[in-house]
A and B are shown apart, each in its own frame.
Chain A
């Protein structure tokens, strides 16, 4: 037996901590370890009485943030345009989506949203609900350009590789990681949820983000849970066959793959009915755009939030995702449409949370494999690293851009060549800011984000207290 290569050392001590706690627990399977902690008065056991939800909106493929949050002041726009003249927006095209931040731009740097984000998100920015965080990316520790070039500090493994960077964003570890920071937050709150099953909800395909040590992602389609018809109704006319079907699908096994499969089937069958009945009472709280897969997913999230009391949850982490952002070619033909979908879906989702009266309790944030090169290829861009992200919700201190605005250059001070930005903010810091708002005590943040201590600030300031 060997331990997975890429488990952070802190996870070993975290696992030991969990196991020690589990050893103190009484009713083993029904009481997750967090209850045991509360029985010994440990602050890490969360029993939130309010409701909060975090929604990770993953843009798969590596979103080009140069054309999402676009340099707009004349000097920097010229630099930007000069390096990708075939795929850049002109200043004229950006005029209608220029950002006017609260407190102005003391450093003289101005930005505009991509034109197709304007309808959905520009008003939200100016209402103070949407924040921009500059140049977020995967890091092991703060890294200067000289250190990167000399490889003199540890770097995230497999930079510029889609699957590994997606994993690193979600789990601080390359492909093969077994838990993500969303799931690790779920671990801390699962016991406070009446039904811990619904702590981490995945409306996209399997992703490590929501996997915890205790919390398991529960996957649901955009039209709800999928019942097993042959269990719900007689199978080929036979009730006995229905029962056998249920028994067989969920039968425990000494074979590890069979057991793993049966576990998923068991959860599907057990929780499915509860989800279906909850969703039956919660139609879409507000209109959502059609023909927009992100909107479909966020619509379902809004219905799950509406059903939170029936589902017995107080803290939830959601994961939604869309693909298509790997714009190596035809960027101008495809990227604007993708962003339009993102902006429209997020705006509809925020509206839905307002209707439900939970706008200040739900925070959505973007994430992506990496940014892209500022320098273009013929009609697109290639894999980059740091990128701007968006955070949306009633508790967001919006209308501002956080972090140092990167200089558009090719091999300038902020990039490692071709305008691939060296991240100034680590994913851990971005995540910690939201985790703190979610209710994770400062002392427990390292359980969720093991490398957080490598970085300066654990609170970038874009959330209200």
Chain B
């Protein structure tokens, strides 16, 4: 057995206040997944070396390049051919352990400061934010963590579009740093940390929220209380552990009512930016530390919601903790969060059984801890349903890659890097001329797309299935995406980003080989021989004499793959 991780490891720090298991779930050490013989000791699911306490997966230690590429498409935002190659000869457990142990890419806040975005001229701009995001998503060596950060940013949504403060790039950078720090930690700690970020305080409007004022009749702002419940913890309807709704007389049951929102809203009063140790005009660091209580605005009376009462006179910090504890303990949380993480990483319509297995790990990681994101991510990625080769033939399996995922995939697969360190790719939100999506720029707290979106007049709709990413798919965006990628692969309109096609140049004169390579790296071998032949035939007809000819062939091959539905769908 491996000794506990030291108190200095990031995972242990995250879990100092690890939440106890809920009353209905006694701690069941070490038996949960049924694959483990040993008692694991790492209370926070941590493990800081190749030897871990995680239960071993049932997957073989080596596998084909296609299977490995498939796994990496689920676990990362993109991988190179050498990475695919290397991992096909290693166990996925070892790779995961290494990824969990890898520290985060450098802090977004630190990077912004180091690049001079703290200069006065940037006080009221967003400059720098997109840069640091692309830096981490495209260049981050912590591949798994960045994938999970992106997924979390689409569940616990904050968008720079709705943060109307000074230094908003720093506010969002700090928010991302918090997601980075907690991505493999505990969801309960993540909730508390994001609640106290200035970005969230601005975005969901409870910064400066005050207790009721009998003179003006004003009540506490309910925004955060509602969205915290609806989107970040329990959702709108009671769920079974497998994510399906509880039905009474054929109808779903609501989880909360208006009174619960009003009651919970009283908790989120009195919070505001910390100004201690700072003078006006406040520096960017003001947006980069947890909010604090301001005297006189906090509602000291009792707060009642969801059958919980926080007693009269409870101080604000304790009330916040108790409120989050109560929400976190709700039986909905494991399936509600677990199912969405599966949708972000693996497939839009997981079976209830898959959801149930992941939710069970969320509820109890095997060592009595609830909310262990490391264990949850591991459970999602190693679940047999994610790997089953039979699903490659299932017409309903998989997910549409969202536009950001497609763009970053190409960039990571070909080791794109910022030639001048600027990462000035910019805001890619415009649907007609760019990707139609850009991280941390969602139009609302409901993310770019809803988990329950159904594309009309499709087989999915007829079968009662969902396709969240189809909410971004329309006649303009399908064209805008292809136009943008046509420029991107030829390094136009992507700032100083430069891909490395060194691996493709030797193949470029041989169209079928070039196509096969790109089809493996990008489409994980999920592109049919017939489709590859269509591409190869077209590319074969292109000249292959000069360096520029070969570049054209490479660009054409890349774009034809990137534009194919067989790539756009991740299986």
Contacts and interface: CB of A to CB of B under 8 A. Distances in A.
A297 to B, nearest CB: 13
A240 B217 contact: no
A238 B565 contact: no
A330 B560 CA distance: 48
Contacts of A157: 252, 254
B482 A230 contact: yes
Interface stretch (A33-41, A113-121, A158-166, A281-289): A158-166
Contact of B458 (A183, A238, A251, A259): A259
B542 A241 contact: yes
Interface stretch (A23-31, A47-55, A260-268, A340-348): A260-268
B510 interface: no
B38 interface: no
Contact of B474 (A206, A255, A328, A418): A206
Contacts of A253: 565-566
Contact of A383 (B208, B222, B431, B482): B222
Interface in B211-270: 213, 216-223, 226, 230, 236, 245, 252, 254, 258, 261-262
Interface in A258-305: 258-265, 267-269, 271-272
B237 to A, nearest CB: 8
Given A4-B454, A228-B479, A248-B534, A264 B473 contact: yes
A158 B454 contact: no
A254 interface: yes
B103 interface: no
Interface string A317-355: 000000100101110000000000000000000000000
A236 B556 contact: yes
Contact of A221 (B226, B245, B432): B432
Interface string A190-218: 00000000000010011010011100111
The dominant DSSP class at the A interface is: loop
Contacts of B283: none
Contact of B556 (A4, A212, A235, A272): A235
Interface stretch (B107-115, B330-338, B392-400, B499-507): B392-400
B494 interface: no
Given A213-B457, A245-B563, A240 B476 contact: no
A158 B254 CA distance: 8
B125 interface: no
Contact of A241 (B209, B400, B560): B560
B245 A5 contact: yes
Contact of A261 (B205, B457, B537, B565): B565
Interface in B310-363: 348
Task: Among A83, A235, A383, find the residue whose CB has the most chain B CB atoms closer than 10 A.
Answer: A235
B260 to A, nearest CB: 11
B538 A263 contact: no
A84 B217 contact: yes
A221 B431 contact: yes
Nearest to A206: B471
A244 interface: yes
A211 B456 contact: yes
Contacts of B520: none
Interface string A41-70: 000000000000000000011000000000
Interface stretch (B132-140, B274-282, B444-452): B444-452
A328 B223 contact: yes
A97 interface: no
A254 B395 contact: yes
A323 B473 contact: no
Interface string B531-559: 10011011101100000000011011001
A261 B450 contact: no
B210 interface: yes
B486 interface: yes
B217 A375 contact: yes
A267 B456 CA distance: 14
B556 A264 contact: no
Nearest to B469: A257
Contact of B459 (A179, A218, A256): A256
A238 B542 contact: yes
B217 A85 contact: yes
Contacts of A236: 490, 542, 552-553, 555-556, 559
Contact of A178 (B454, B476, B564, B569): B454
Given A226-B483, A378-B210, A220 B475 contact: yes
A465 B254 CA distance: 42
Given A160-B226, A221-B431, A243 B569 contact: no
Nearest to A259: B459
Contacts of A206: 453, 470-474
A163 B450 contact: yes
Given A4-B454, A238-B556, A375 B473 contact: no
A177 B464 contact: no
Nearest to B430: A221
Contacts of B563: 230, 245, 248-249
B475 A417 contact: no
A178 B538 contact: no
A300 to B, nearest CB: 12
B4 interface: no
A232 to B, nearest CB: 10
A259 B455 CA distance: 11
B154 to A, nearest CB: 14
Task: Among A3, A259, A382, find the residue whose CB has the most chain B CB atoms closer than 10 A.
Answer: A382
A1 interface: yes
B466 interface: yes
A463 to B, nearest CB: 28
A233 to B, nearest CB: 10
A329 B218 CA distance: 12
A170 to B, nearest CB: 12
A147 interface: no
Contacts of B564: 248-249, 251
Nearest to B204: A328
A225 interface: yes
A178 B470 CA distance: 13
Given A158-B236, A376-B217, A380-B205, A208 B565 contact: no
B294 interface: no
A271 to B, nearest CB: 7
B565 A258 contact: yes
A410 interface: yes
A257 B475 contact: no
Contacts of A243: 538
Contact of B568 (A3, A223, A241, A258): A258
Contacts of B482: 228-230, 245, 249
Interface in A143-194: 157-164, 175-179, 183
A378 B209 contact: yes
Contact of A244 (B262, B476, B535): B535
A256 B486 contact: no
B478 interface: yes
A237 interface: yes
A328 B483 contact: no
Nearest to A210: B456
B467 interface: yes
Nearest to A15: B462
B396 A375 contact: no
A456 interface: no
Interface in B402-436: 431-432
Sort A-B residue pairs by CB-CB distance and give the 9 closest, nearest first.
A211-B456, A219-B474, A258-B565, A244-B538, A268-B475, A377-B221, A226-B479, A328-B223, A260-B458
Interface of A: 1-5, 60-61, 82-86, 157-164, 175-179, 183, 202, 205-206, 208, 211-213, 216-221, 223, 225-230, 235-238, 240-241, 243-245, 247-249, 251, 253-265, 267-269, 271-272, 323, 326, 328-330, 373, 375-378, 380, 382-383, 410, 416-418, 420
5 contacts: A3-B464, A4-B461, A158-B254, A161-B236, A373-B219
Given A206-B473, A256-B463, A375-B219, 8 more contacts: A4-B464, A178-B456, A206-B472, A260-B460, A260-B473, A267-B475, A272-B475, A418-B219
